[in-house]
Structure 1
Amino acid sequence: MAGRKVGIVGTGAVGATAAYSLVMMGSCEEIVLFDIVEGVAQGKAIDMGQAAHYSPKGTKVTAVKSAAEMKDCDIVVITAGVPRKGEMTRADLLMINAKIMKNVVDDVAKNSPDAIIICVSNPLDVMTYVIHKMTGWERNRIIGMAGALDGARMAYQIYQTLGYGLTQTGDLVIGDHGQNMIPLPSKVQVGSVNASELLTQEQMEQIIERTKNGGAEIVKHLGTSGYYGPGRAVAHMVEAILDNSRIVVSSSVLLQGEYGYSDVCVGVPVVLGRNGVEEIIQIDLDEETQAKFKISVESIQDNINILIENKFFE
């Protein structure tokens, strides 16, 4: 990619941390920030621009006052959306965030028509699906950030158990980005050694449970969800696309027959490179994992159906 220009829509904790991570790594030439709250993107752009003095490359960080001003980006990261509050039902939250997504995506599609979109907004798999429907773009260009974070959380739990190999530990989590996620520690390696040779079945089960509750554990301590992990996971994906690294990372993508499902976005291992999703990898799932994957897909489909019932796509 020649331009290496990245737009980030939504500069709350996750969006800003992703941008800061990219600045510190010197991963791109230009980062453009936008937030609906006046002044937030501007203030953070100045702050990060000053931090760039100490990064490997002088990354240009700017802010725009509307998503429509974010032009000609190679990658656009979307973190916009509201969290569930008080009396809000799941359907309420879905409709609110889907409408926010629709407005943002309209601007992105018009002004960065060749971009790859990374969706971080929740509910992740459903919002990724919404972007597909709104743009009609090729499926390789729309990717939901899920497994990069959940996988890092699983690798962390394996490291907490073993006490070694943190950066050498595989990270494979499939399914939805939520309570039905499926961490697969038995499928990963620590260095060149299969994790199943290092961990007991009981330890595996504890790792799976702790991975699923990885976000909730942070909320318990902070009173808010984590942002260093998610922000770095976003940056990891952006770097892979910009550098054409062709790394394997679980992401929420639109299936068209893979794993036996179609017209639904769900987390599976993919190859990330210059074109976004270069390939969807189909791994063998045992019967128990297939059953869990079915539950995961159905939970996403239920949410998509709520949008359909509310005539969102019409």
Structure 2
Amino acid sequence: VKNKGGKCNDEILRENITSSRQLKHNNAKVAVLGASGGIGQPLSLLLKNSPLVGELSLFDIAHTPGVAADLSHIETRARVTGYMGPDQLNDALKGCDVVVIPAGVPRKPGMTRDDLFNTNATIVATLADACARNCPEAMICIIANPVNSTIPITSEVMKKYGVYNPNRVFGVTTLDIVRANAFVAELKGLDPARVNVPVIGGHAGKTIIPLISQATPKVEFPADQLSALTARIQDAGTEVVKAKAGAGSATLSMAYAGARFTFSILDAMNGKEGVVECAYVRSEETECKYFSTPLLLGKQGIEKNLGLGKLSAFEEKLVAEAIGELKGSIKKGEDFVANMK
């Protein structure tokens, strides 16, 4: 008997047995810090829906018991626990394999990501401090903006405790790649699921550098269209902020991108080979101390930095123009931790 997918029942049975065997490894404990927020809730929903997650630990300063209760009724295997307030932060993090941090305030119209610095820097430093103390070996995935500064902040806090591992601290830039894939597919009439555009640099404005010349499948655009496409990818966050007219920033697409990155990390930790994602990490690829490039992921985090690859003249110019702003954002993050009381 064949089912709709053309597989007969014994094949399906075999696959299910194999996948249940694999699930022994797929018992990851994942924490979401900022789980009640605009990104945190849909992100937690996507994580709860995944067979890769065995335990989901949800932390926020408000509403977490309700979010956890709601998600716990979903018929998937991840056990959900909610933790609320500073007193419960340590418990939320104990034994975690992966920590995803969407906590912080969102942008309002007219704000840049850097305008969030004062509020979000303190939040990220506090959460990184708790990670350093409670789950120093975990993979730390930072969504909180400005990512160009919050990754240096996280790294410097981990260094204070002597537990910094550059292969395990990631700035999640995945939404830039997701947007580039969607926009290129739209312009070329392609299936977005088959398009892959590497995006390098940072995660703000002109530091976002889509490498259209390295896209698969290969695509070409006239200069004016390429310039407009690049600008749209760089300003896509602002496009959403404006469309939401004061009601927040990109939350649903960011949750999707955050989940995609987390699943790639978990796949690689489970021994899947050839998992590549771009992320903003400690880097020797340019003169910037932190830079996003495609990374081969493995059981211990970054297995190999795949670097910038061959750039077009247009892309080389974009990189040159981004370096100054990136260096400034990195220094701002490092100085913040140096001056912390």
Between the aligned residues of both structures, percent identity stands at 27
Task: Give 1:286 shift.
Answer: 4.2
SS in 1 for 2:205: coil
* 1:64 alignment partner, SS class: strand
Shift of 1:84: 5.5
Counting only pairs closer than 5 Å after superposition, residues 207-218 of structure 1 correspond to structure 2 as 207-218=229-240
> What residue number does 2:297 align with?
272
Contact 2:148 2:329 in 1 (8 A): no
Aligned counterpart for 2:199 among listed residues 162, 173, 181: 173
| Max Rg structure | 2
* In structure 2, distance between residues paired with 1:274 and 1:120: 21
4+ runs deviating over 6 angstroms? 85-92
Out of 147, 150, 155, the position equivalent to 2:176 is 150
Q: Is the contact made by 2:55 and 2:78 (CA closer than 8 Å) also made in structure 1?
A: yes
Superposed displacement of residue 250, structure 1: 1.3
Distance 1:312 1:86 in 2: 30
> Per-residue displacement from partner, 1:102-125 (whole Å, max 9, x unpaired)?
211111111112101001011002
CA–CA separation in structure 2 for the residues paired with 1:87 and 1:163: 33
- Residue of structure 2 aligned with 1:74, choices 97, 120, 125: 97
Matched residue, 2:19 = none
Which of the residues 276, 279, 282 maps onto 1:248? 276
- 2:210 match: 183
Alpha-carbon distance in structure 2 between the residues aligned to 1:88 and 1:251:
24
Deviation at 1:134, TM superposition (A): 0.7
Q: 1:86 & 1:158 partners in 2: Cα distance?
A: 26
For 2:136, the equivalent position in structure 1 comes to 113
Match of 1:234 among 258, 265, 269: 258
2:296·2:303 contact (CA, 8 Å) conserved in 1? Answer: yes
- CA distance, structure 2, for counterparts of residue 155 and residue 124 of structure 1: 21
- Determine whether 1:294 maps to 2:316: no
Residues 95-104 or 149-158, more deviating: 95-104
Structure-2 separation of matches of 1:212 and 1:88? 15
Aligned letter for 2:80? Answer: V
Equivalent residue in structure 2 for 1:64, among 83, 87, 107: 83
CA distance 1:205–1:307, shift in 2 (3 Å): closer
Contact 1:133-1:313 within 8 A present in 2 as well = no
**Aligned residue type for 1:205:** S
- TM-score normalised to structure 2 length: 0.80
1:140 paired residue number: 167
Distance 1:87 1:204 in 2: 26
Post-superposition offset of 1:188:
0.3
- Whether 2:70 is the aligned partner of 1:41: answer no
Deviations 1:24-70 (A, max 9, x none): 23330111010112xx21111111111x21xxx42111111222112
Residue in structure 2 matched with residue 7 of structure 1 by the alignment: 31
Q: Label 1:151 to 1:88 Cα distance change in 2 as closer, same or farther (>3 A).
A: closer
Contact 1:126 / 1:303 at 8 angstroms: preserved in 2?
yes
Are the equivalent residues in 1 in contact too, given 2:41–2:67 (CA < 8 A)? Answer: yes
Any unmatched runs of 5+ in structure 1?
Answer: none
Question: Residue 155 of structure 1: CA displacement?
Answer: 1.0
Once the two structures are TM-superposed, the CA of residue 313 in structure 1 deviates from its matched residue by 5.8
Report the AA paired with residue 186 of structure 1.
Answer: S
Deviation digits for residues 174-199 of structure 1, max 9, x if unmatched?
A: 11111111112221013xxx112xx4
Asked if structure 1 preserves the Cα contact closer than 8 Å seen for 2:100 and 2:140, the reply is yes
Distance 1:276 1:7, change over 3 A: same
CA distance in 1, matches of 2:55, 2:301: 19
Aligned to 2:146: 123
- The alignment of Structure 1 onto Structure 2 pairs a total of residues equal to 299
User: Residue 220 of structure 1 corresponds to which residue in structure 2?
Assistant: 242
Q: Report the CA distance shift for 1:241/1:289 in structure 2 as closer, same or farther (over 3 A).
A: same
Whole-angstrom CA distance in 2 between matches of 1:178 and 1:207: 16
Which residue number in structure 1 is paired with residue 285 of structure 2? 258
